[in-house]
Amino acid sequence: MREEFRSHLETFYAQLKLAPPYESVEKAIRTLTTAVHALPKDEQARIAADPALQWQQFRQAFETSGLVKKHRGIIAGLARHRSALDLPPEFDHFLGLFNA
């Protein structure tokens, strides 16, 4: 899940044409890893088998790690024009954090 999350973050920032805040990206990945490893093994297996649950974990790590605070103004502006962004719908999990 770590590498998938990293890949999603790389895609997110690349499609927004922003340089990813590397230290914050690494912190988000560590946050995800810590959160998932703290769960019971059966819950980890359930998450691993369900993309919707994975995206919930990705969103939580994105928010909890503080990554949501980086480039906030720029991304909030871009998120207001969602239809102009070349991102799959799954990325609304991240973009929604900038509309709050």
Helices (H), the chain: 2-15, 22-37, 41-49, 51-64, 72-79, 92-95
Confidence band for 79, pLDDT divided at 50, 70 and 90: confident
Segment 11-26, tens digit of pLDDT: 999 999 999 999 999 9
Q: Cα(63)–Cα(99) distance, rounded to whole angstroms? A: 13
pLDDT of residue 100 exceeding 80, the answer is: no
Residue type, 40: P
For residue 75, the model assigns a pLDDT of: 92
Average pLDDT in the 37-65 region? 96
Average pLDDT, the chain: 93
Work out the angle at residue 29's Cα, subtended by the Cα atoms of residues 39 and 23, and round it to the nearest 5 degrees.
Answer: 150
pLDDT of residue 81 exceeding 90, the answer is: no
Closest alpha carbon to 43 in 24, 57, 28: 57
Say which residue, 100 or 99, is predicted with more confidence.
Answer: 99
pLDDT of residue 70 exceeding 70, the answer is: yes
Cβ proximity of 28 and 57 under 8 Å = no
Percent of the chain scored above 90 by pLDDT? 77
